[in-house]
Amino acid sequence: MNIWESARIAVRALRVNKLRSVLTMLGIIIGVGAVIAMVGVGAGAQASVTERIESLGSNLIVATSGSVTSTGVRLGLGTQYTLTEDDAAAIAREISAVQVAAPSMKGKGQVVYGNLNWSTDVYGVTEDYLEARDWPLDAGRPLDAHDVDGATKVAVLGQTTVQKLFGDSDPLGQIIRIQKVPFTVIGLLAGKGESAYGWDQDDVVLIPLSTAKKKVLGTTQPNPRSVRKVEIKILPGDDMDEAEAQIRALLRQRHRLQPGDDDDFKLGNLTDVLETKEQAAQIMTYLLAAIASVSLLVGGIGIMNIMLVSVTERTREIGLRMAVGAQGRDILLQFLVEAVTLSVIGGVLGIAAGLTGSRAISHFAEWRTLVAPDTIVLAFGFAAAIGIFFGFYPARKAARLDPIEALRYE
């Protein structure tokens, strides 16, 4: 007997007890639906985090000036800047995986326009900065090499700063004062949103690094070439860890550190932070899936229960089938197919329920949900597997019946 024959018999048997079959399927429908909806919620959260990683600029390694221990006194991170513009230039020059290395300074500054003033982060940057951060402009032009070399007094504003100082009027070409120094606004940055740590990345003013050092942030550093950070963008496709190791080796060599010495800088991979968050989101997905799977399991137990009842009720039928020549495996197949039919139909309806459910969650809770096709395939496969697993015991019980005892069963 082939599988289609069994499937036909199974569907017919299920139609005899329609309500019972539907109720049994309901367990699987709810189970599969819950798995799909929950994984959808988890994957949606994960996707949001991933997007944030991308907004920070992927392939970014940040070198931060660190503590100096030459005098035996460990100074806090960044107190005395150990990195220099020359380090940045050397990194860009000597490491082939580096697309661009952008040195920068940062400080708080009062920005005034007309009678409005706003305290914001002032970054002294080079022409490479926006490329390193994957940060496009909305309007105007970026800082160029001429601005940096000539220490011109021009500024590019982040969206929050624009909002605070200009409201709806056009800032391009206007003069603002940063720490009382007048600057011409030449460009407006595109919005970037919150950082991985939750601060507003759009609350900034970018000015040339040279200008910042001379006029705005003032330099208390012994070395006028020092910078606080170097943002290094790695070429797509190159290995981040390997690039990081090369940068570390180069900086250690340039800073003349002996093998036993600590680094006097810190290399951070911005994505590290977010990967941790992404992992957390993934764990949440697994957790939700696990909880939802419990209901699928309960659905499976429901199938087993109903199949056991069915085998008992149909003992005489089984006896008769055996009497006319059914082998144990024919009976096994028949009941197994019946269980799998229940779980597979339940699975299909469950997928529909899960998709509807995750839509509803997106709509009413305004959470992002994301149902990937492989989730659907997996949930469906899982449902079928549940049918086989929980259908097997009742089916084997049926297959092992003794024909004459089954025929005599009252």
Partner 1 sequence: MALIVIEELTKDYRLGSHTVHAVRGLTLRVARGELVAIMGPSGSGKSTFMNILGCLDSPTGGRYLLDGEDVAGLSPGELARIRNGKIGFVFQTFNLLARTSAVENVELPLIYAGRPARVRRARAREVLAAVGLADRAHHHPSQLSGGQQQRVAIARALVNDPAVLLADEPTGNLDTRTSVEILVLLQQLNRQGITIVLVTHELDIAAFASRVLTLRDGRLQRDEPVLSPRDASVAQAQLEEEAVA
Q: Which is nearer to partner 1, 274 or 322 (CB)?
A: 322
Q: Which is nearer to partner 1, 5 or 51 (CB)?
A: 5
Q: Which two tokens stand for residue 249?
A: 């080796």
* 200 close to 99: Cβ distance less than 8 angstroms: no
CB 327, min distance to partner 1, A: 5
CB 19, min distance to partner 1, A: 16
Rounded Cα gap, residues 379 and 33, in angstroms: 9
* 43 close to 285: Cβ distance less than 8 angstroms: yes
Q: Which is nearer to partner 1, 28 or 326 (CB)?
A: 326
Q: Please name every residue paired with 122 in a beta bridge, in sequence order, or none if there are none.
A: 107, 205
Rounded Cα gap, residues 92 and 90, in angstroms: 5
CB 320, min distance to partner 1, A: 5
Note the residues at the interface with partner 1 (CB under 8 A): 1, 5, 12, 16, 316-317, 320-330, 403-404, 407
Rounded Cα gap, residues 404 and 376, in angstroms: 45
Amino acid identity of residue 113, one-letter, is Y
CB 316, min distance to partner 1, A: 7
CB 20, min distance to partner 1, A: 15
Q: Which is nearer to partner 1, 254 or 396 (CB)?
A: 396
Q: Which is nearer to partner 1, 250 or 407 (CB)?
A: 407
Residue with tokens 């609350």: 203
Q: Beta-carbon neighbour count of residue 373 at 10 Å?
A: 7
Q: Which is nearer to partner 1, 239 or 402 (CB)?
A: 402
Rounded Cα gap, residues 318 and 331, in angstroms: 7
CB 399, min distance to partner 1, A: 10
The beta strands (E) that lie in 60-97 are given as 60-65, 83-84
